[in-house]
């Protein structure tokens, strides 16, 4: 096909009078002209003419007629399709076109209604004048691109039909039907769905149930390490992983320091009276002060002491003998024996210069960062931190804050997962909520893989007719699903997949939608993947505990939320299960400080009070 000539006519008072920028027209032009973009691959042409006109019917009509005579193949108008008094683009278009194309309008509205109910307020018109196709698009950049994406695959075929180019009609029709090589292009909105109908869906999962250990091994095996390190200021390093061994730049302490509030003395003077020469506080310099027999210097904790001093006597072991006119101590008496070196911290007694203070691949917590600062560092090098995005899925979800709509629930998974990631040194991206519609979910995931290395989703992985993540990942993104079911409770439908995008490996961890399942699986599988990517071998803290009450075992290994309490009477803590363990009840996690690692049901189907089980400690 010859290159299609596109014209973009932006209809906007504010853009025409330079009160705002024409973002929509610019973004559409970039998409069409970029042969590598999803829209550009399909539209097969270039923008040859652009113009901005005010919301005036006469200017819109005049421009459309002029461009038709200039043999523009497709004119895209942007803006003026709403309910405002100044929105007259559809009226102007109707006066110009000779044939209407209602199917394109319907396709755009059906696609847009799956994203927002406000799409019903669009009054767009599509039609033909001469050999030119004219299409009205909404004014916002996002809506304009979404509507154009919905009909993009039909536009080249429509152009050939309008021009009666019979030799090209069959080939473009086959492209629309997905029967040529073009079907390998991933379109913004595929014509043929990768999903089966509700009646034809599988009645049981086609993915084998694998063990927890097998799932973790698969994840670790699929990780491709990225050899990129970043130098960060200490305040930005909390939760990050140290990339190199760290050695102290200085002795700690760097001078002889007093351990107590008291007096620096000559130990050889023993007990008795001393003249107080001066006072030294933390931050002062003591090298200029010389001690002689029978003298001392008042010092504070942490203060340097004179080079001559051989001991420090705490203030509690002295008494005042005489004070000066200005109420300073002029003479004190030492009441106890004085030992050489007492209450003095020698230079480098804590850390010597060039000592190894932190090993490579240490997770940087508050203490580690404080230690680095004490040894002279304000910046340190950390390992690669993958960019992580969090996406919730489900028609029933809404963000907290507004009144709860009928049949809806507030989305708690996203804030829980984002918070867990931030607590562990990641800077996650909130990718919002995807509706249970193929086009909307594909668009969300497509946006995500351009921004992040790892996409963590919740919902849409089980066996419901709206659980579409697995077929979308394989059908639209050519992803490999490494596992789709794990022998674990909660969290059986947990899914892990990878795909290549622009020569970078992308990772998908798809969590169940129930809040407890999402939280538990993120703790066990999410951080397994993320820690491997940033080269951190996290060792879990597992202890033995006694059950406070009996518990019926499940057919799957189960992670049960519990609270451990220690007492003087027993060497093992007592584990109290935190109420009902159904996977939708997030309240059961509130008081939990551990997960009990319970085995699958075997010869015994119930544990008894006092039975000893393993427990994994949380937040340690």
- Supply the pLDDT for residue 587: 62
Q: What is the pLDDT of residues 309-343, one digit of tens each?
A: 999 999 999 999 999 888 899 999 999 999 999 99
**H helix runs in 97-188, sequence order:** 102-113, 141-151, 155-163, 166-177
CA angle 258, 259, 262 (to 5 degrees): 70
CB 410 within 8 A of CB 398: yes
**In terms of Cα–Cα distance, which of 55, 40, 45, 35 is closest to 75?**
45
More confident residue, 197 or 576: 576
Q: Give CA 345 to chain center in angstroms.
A: 46
pLDDT single digits (tens) 89-147 = 999 999 999 999 999 999 999 989 988 888 899 999 999 999 999 999 999 999 999 99
Residue with token string 């009609």: 169
- Half-sphere exposure in the Cβ direction for 413 (13 Å, CA): 32
Alpha-carbon gap, residue 373 to 249, rounded angstroms: 10
pLDDT, tens digit, for every residue of 531-566? 999 999 888 899 999 999 999 999 999 999 999 999
Q: Check residue 581 and give its pLDDT.
A: 54
Please, are residues 228 and 384 in contact by the beta-carbon 8 Å criterion? yes
> Which tens digit of pLDDT belongs to each residue from 221-255?
999 999 899 999 999 999 999 999 999 999 999 99
Residue 167 pLDDT > 80: no
Rounded to whole angstroms, the Cα distance separating 126 from 133 reads: 8
Burial of 81 (0-12, 13-18, 19+ CB in 10 A): buried
Q: Residue 338: what pLDDT? A: 96
What is the arithmetic mean of pLDDT over 476-499? 95
**Residue 404: its pLDDT value, please?**
87
Q: Note the pLDDT of residue 186.
A: 34
**Share of residues in the chain with pLDDT > 90 (%):** 75
pLDDT number for residue 170:
45
Q: How confident is the prediction for the chain on average, in pLDDT?
A: 89
How far is residue 469's CA from residue 436's CA, in Å, rounded to a whole number? 10
Tens digit of pLDDT for each residue in 566-598?
Answer: 998 899 999 999 876 554 455 657 778 999 999
Instruction: Choose among 82, 6, 9: nearest CA to 52.
Output: 9
**Structure tokens that stand for 518 in this block:** 């999402």
Residue 181 clears pLDDT 70, i.e. is over it = no
- Residue 145 or 182, more confident: 145
pLDDT at 270 (0 to 100) = 95
Q: What is the 3-state secondary structure (H, E, C) of 262-289?
A: EEEECHHHCCEEEEEEEEECCCCCCCCC
**Residue with the larger pLDDT of the pair 369 and 282:** 369
Whether 487 and 556 have beta carbons less than 8 Å apart is answered as yes
- Identify the pLDDT of residue 47: 93
Q: What DSSP line would sit under 213-261, residue for residue?
A: HHHHHHHHHH-------EEEEGGG-TT-BB-S-EE-SS-BSSS-EESSS
The pLDDT tens digits for 416-448 are: 999 999 999 999 999 999 988 898 899 999 999
């Amino acid at each position: 096909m010859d290159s299609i000539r596109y014209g973009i006519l932006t209809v906007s008072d504010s853009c025409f009078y330079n009160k705002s920028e024409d973002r929509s027209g610019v973004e559409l032009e970039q998409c069409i002209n970029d042969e590598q973009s999803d829209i550009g691959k399909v539209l097969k042409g270039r923008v040859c003419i652009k113009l901005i006109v005010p919301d005036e019917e006469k200017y819109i009509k005049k421009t459309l007629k002029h461009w038709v005579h200039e043999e523009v193949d497709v004119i895209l108008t942007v803006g003026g399709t709403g309910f405002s008094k100044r929105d007259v683009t559809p009226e102007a278009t109707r006066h110009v076109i000779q044939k209407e194309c209602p199917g394109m309008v319907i396709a755009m509205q059906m696609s847009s209604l799956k994203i927002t109910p406000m799409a019903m307020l669009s009054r767009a018109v599509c039609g033909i004048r001469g050999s030119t196709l004219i299409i009205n698009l909404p004014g916002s950049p996002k809506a304009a691109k979404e509507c154009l994406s919905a009909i993009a695959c039909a536009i080249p075929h429509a152009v050939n039909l309008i021009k009666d180019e019979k030799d090209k009609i069959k080939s473009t029709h086959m492209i629309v039907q997905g029967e040529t090589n073009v079907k390998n292009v991933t379109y913004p909105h595929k014509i043929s769905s990768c999903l089966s109908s509700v009646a034809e869906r599988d009645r049981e999962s086609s993915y084998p149930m694998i063990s927890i250990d097998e799932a973790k091994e698969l994840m670790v095996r699929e990780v491709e390490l990225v050899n990129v390190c970043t130098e960060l200021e200490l305040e930005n390093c909390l939760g990050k992983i140290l990339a190199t061994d760290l050695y102290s730049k200085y002795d700690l302490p760097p001078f002889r320091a007093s351990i107590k509030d008291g007096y620096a003395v000559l130990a050889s003077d023993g007990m008795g009276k001393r003249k107080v020469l001066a006072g030294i506080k933390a931050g002062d310099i003591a090298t200029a002060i010389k001690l002689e027999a029978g003298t001392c210097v008042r010092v504070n904790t942490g203060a340097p002491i004179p080079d001559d001093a051989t001991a420090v006597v705490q203030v509690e072991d002295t008494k005042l003998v005489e004070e000066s006119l200005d109420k300073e101590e002029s003479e004190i008496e030492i009441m106890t024996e004085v030992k050489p070196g007492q209450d003095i911290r020698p230079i480098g007694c804590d850390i010597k210069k060039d000592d190894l203070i932190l090993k490579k691949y240490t997770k940087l917590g508050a203490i580690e960062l404080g230690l680095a600062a004490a040894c002279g560092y304000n910046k340190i090098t950390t390992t690669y931190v993958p960019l992580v995005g969090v996406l919730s899925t489900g028609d029933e979800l809404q963000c907290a804050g507004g009144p709860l709509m009928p049949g809806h629930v507030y989305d708690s998974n996203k804030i829980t997962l984002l918070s867990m990631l931030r607590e562990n040194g990641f800077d996650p991206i909130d990718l919002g909520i995807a509706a249970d519609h193929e086009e909307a979910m594909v668009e969300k995931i497509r946006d995500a893989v351009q921004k992040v290395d790892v996409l963590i989703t919740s919902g849409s992985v089980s066996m419901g007719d709206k659980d579409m993540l697995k077929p979308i990942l394989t059908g639209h993104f050519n992803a490999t699903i490494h596992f789709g079911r794990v022998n674990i409770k909660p969290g059986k439908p947990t899914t892990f997949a990878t795909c290549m995008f622009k020569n970078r490996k992308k990772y998908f961890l798809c969590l169940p939608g129930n809040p407890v399942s999402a939280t538990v699986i993120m703790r066990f599988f999410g951080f397994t993947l993320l820690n491997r990517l940033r080269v951190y071998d996290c060792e879990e803290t597992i202890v033995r505990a006694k059950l406070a009450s009996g518990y019926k075992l499940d057919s799957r290994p189960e992670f049960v939320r519990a609270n451990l309490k220690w007492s003087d009477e027993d060497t093992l803590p007592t584990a109290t299960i935190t109420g009902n363990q159904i996977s939708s009840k997030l309240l059961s996690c509130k008081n939990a400080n551990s997960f009990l690692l319970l085995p699958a049901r075997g010869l015994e189907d119930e544990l008894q009070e006092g039975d000893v089980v393993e427990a994994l400690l949380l937040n340690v």
